[in-house]
Amino acid sequence: MKKIYITRKIDDQVIDQLKERFDVQVWNKEDTAVPKDELLHQVKDSHALLTMLSDKIDQEIFDAAPHLEVVANLAVGYDNIDLDAAKKAGVIVTNTPDVLTDTTADLTFSLIMAVGRRITEAAEYVKQGKWTSWSPYLLAGTDIHHKTIGIIGMGSIGQAVAQRAKGFNMDVLYHTRSRKSEAEQRFNAKHVSLEELLKESDYVVMLAPFTEETKQMMGKKEFALMKKSAFFVNAGRGTTVDEQALIEALQTGEIAGAALDVFEKEPISADHPLLSMKNVVAIPHIGSASRETRLTMMKLASDNIAAVLQGKKALTEVK
């Protein structure tokens, strides 16, 4: 019986379905990533891995896994996996695209609203017993409606965010390598240079995938181009941002605030400079974390594994 190793506890119904046909082993500490030495031990006789973004699947892993046929990553992204090493080893890599688009777009727009209207700051204000009276400018924030949103990365999630922005009567600018004619028609979106997007947007939203081209594409120069009244939102990849440059832009008042679901190195420590700033909303990489979407992602990853191990074509292979 072929063995599947799952690097984090997932839904029991998904595990039970896999157990009907395969030997399934699961890392049993739900809130911690599997240690590298444990993973190296488990892959020796594994035919499939169901992995998380927090798992680094590199050359060392592939060298230790002579029977490995497929790595199913529980995410859209796969920069935690060495694709060249996988290809040389003849291992298929899959991800979970599309199924998390709307959920991630919901979360992204929640970040826009939270930082613009100071929601988390206001919630803490009440919890700390500071609310003693009402005043006209008590925790006054910034409007979202009729403002300009600039979306960096106009893939499926970017377009879903643009759809939500139109409900708030926002003007939509976007920057990506290739124009999206259909999106321009649907959302009345305008394709612009990165420089123009940064200068004109009230909310700059980073949704670009991580590549060598996008690595730290938001740096000191880019933050300096933004309006002092503008907010930066990152729900894409932390590595697309020069975090020190972001910290300096916030400290000097170069931008008004930031809302972040992702960071350069994760998880961040409690003494991280960004966490001491009132104008920063920081959450722990939960873009697609709704119960419904997580279950759908788990089922897709499971289906990919089952297909490959039974000699069939993967549903969502990373090319």
197 token code pair: 């997007």
- DSSP H helices, 28-155, are 36-42, 59-63, 83-89, 101-116, 119-127
Q: For residue 184, count CB atoms less than 10 angstroms from its CB and return exposed for 0-12, middle for 13-18, buried for 19 or more.
A: middle
Tell me the backbone φ, ψ of residue 26, rounded to 5 degrees.
-130, 135
Q: Which residues have a Cβ under 8 Å from the Cβ of 251 and sit 6 or more positions away?
A: 277
81: alpha, beta or left? (left if phi > 0; alpha if psi -120 to 50):
beta
* Count of alpha carbons within 13 angstroms of residue 14, beta-carbon side: 23
> Active-site positions?
237, 266, 285
By the 8 A CB rule, do 314 and 94 touch?
yes
In three-state secondary structure terms, 174 is: strand
- DSSP H helices, the chain, are 12-19, 36-42, 59-63, 83-89, 101-116, 119-127, 156-167, 181-187, 194-200, 220-225, 243-251, 291-309
Residues in the chain: 319
Q: For residue 85, count CB atoms less than 10 angstroms from its CB and return exposed for 0-12, middle for 13-18, buried for 19 or more.
A: middle
- The C-alpha atoms of residue 131 and residue 311 are separated, in whole angstroms, by 63
169: alpha, beta or left? (left if phi > 0; alpha if psi -120 to 50):
left
Closest to 37 measured CA to CA, from 54, 59, 60: 60
